[in-house]
Amino acid sequence: MHQGVRTEQRDATLIITLDRPKANAIDARTSRALYEAFAELNTRDDLRVGVITAAGNRFFSAGWDLKAAADGEAHHADHGPGGFAGLTEFPGLKKPVIAAVNGAAYGGGVELMLAAHMVVASSEARFAFPEARLGLLPDAGGLNRLPALLPRPLALELLLTARTFSVDEALRWGLVNRIVSPADVLGAALELAQEVCLSAPLSVEATLKAVREVEGLSDQEAFDRLRKAVPLVSGISETADAQEGARAFAEGRTPNWAGR
């Protein structure tokens, strides 16, 4: 374990566990350690999916470590290339990350969850953005990702009032994919990861890249960009895996992906 972060590989999935008792709060050193884990996921060919979770069952993460702040760590301290929690500003992430939210998430903990591509949450999870009550801003994703996912009035209510919202509300609003019992959170996230691993690696990478590239564009702008400006997307049908997928379908067998 390095700076409260440990990793474990299960098949093609890298499990990244935040382990900082009592509330899995994140300081700058922990952010850099998390970035190293996500960078490992991004660069290793034998890894296809990442799962970010936390130790215990009470807290996924309480967000920024206010004890570190009281000891002098600035709000804008160097959190490394991936930004706060190593993921919120990760440049060019090629592999999907699933958040296995095993307990409460506050502030930066919610921002870490929102930076993931999919979310499996405990039935006992709850969420809040307390920054306004602390004289701070949720500037690691709360200010941009939350209003992009929710109607503006609802996002502003959560950001300005610091009210706690339930996992059922999060599911209804589309912030999480599914709710499971506390004991099943990691298992359900790993099952979802296995489902992703059945898809072609380049198709997964191209999908993530395409979604990033077209965000905020009109339909015509999006089509133009994907067809002309993103080689991985526009050339996906010419890959060896695309040919293998067609052959496997015709032959009624499971594809053998080569990642090229």
Least confident of 46-50, 104-108, 213-217: 213-217
Residue 111 bears catalytic tag:
yes
- Per-residue confidence band for 66, with pLDDT thresholds at 50, 70 and 90: confident
DSSP letters along the chain, please? -BTTEEEEEETTEEEEEE--TTTT-B-HHHHHHHHHHHHHHHH-TT--EEEEEESSSSEEE--B-HHHHHTT--TT----TT-GGGTTT-TT--S-EEEEE-SEEETHHHHHHHHSSEEEEETT-EEE--GGGGT---TTTTTTHHHHHS-HHHHHHHHHH---EEHHHHHHTTS-SEEE-GGGHHHHHHHHHHHHHTS-HHHHHHHHHHHHHHTT--HHHHHHHHHHT-HHHHTGGGSHHHHHHHHHHHHTS-------
pLDDT of residue 260 exceeding 80, the answer is yes
Residue 205 bears catalytic tag:
no
pTM of the model as a whole: 0.95
Q: Which of 40, 89, 131, 157 is catalytic?
A: 131
Q: Which of 36, 40, 111, 124 is catalytic?
A: 111
**150-174: pLDDT as tens digits:** 999 999 999 999 999 999 999 999 9
The whole-chain average pLDDT of the chain stands at 94
**69-92: pLDDT as tens digits:** 777 777 778 899 999 999 999 988
Q: Can you give the pLDDT at residue 74?
A: 76
